[in-house]
Amino acid sequence: MTDEPTPEPTAAKYDPQAQLERAQATIFSIMSGGDLSAETLQLSNEFTDATVERVKQRLRRPKG
């Protein structure tokens, strides 16, 4: 066992520009004949997963 500190997890960075580009790509895909339900569900799941990961990382941060 070592006395080295456990590395702090890196926070998932919120990138509003990337989120906007992803949303626009989804809209264009739907307008080009893509499956509305599948595209919106995938976009929603990606957003939710990223948000949950950021919250988990924030809760893991040591206090003090």
User: For 33-61, what is each residue's pLDDT tens digit?
Assistant: 999 999 999 999 999 998 999 899 889 87
Domain count, the chain: 1
User: How far is residue 64's CA from residue 60's CA, in Å, rounded to a whole number?
Assistant: 12
**Is 50 part of a structural domain of the chain?**
yes
Q: Which residue has the higher pLDDT, 4 or 1?
A: 4
By residue range, what is the domain housing residue 49? 34-58
What's the pLDDT score for residue 29? 94
What's the pLDDT score for residue 64? 62
User: How far is residue 23's CA from residue 17's CA, in Å, rounded to a whole number?
Assistant: 10
User: How far is residue 47's CA from residue 34's CA, in Å, rounded to a whole number?
Assistant: 19
pTM for the whole thing? 0.63
Query: Are 47 and 26 in contact, with CB atoms under 8 Å apart?
Result: no
**Is 43 part of a structural domain of the chain?**
yes
**Is 6 part of a structural domain of the chain?**
no
**Is 22 part of a structural domain of the chain?**
no
**Is 27 part of a structural domain of the chain?**
no
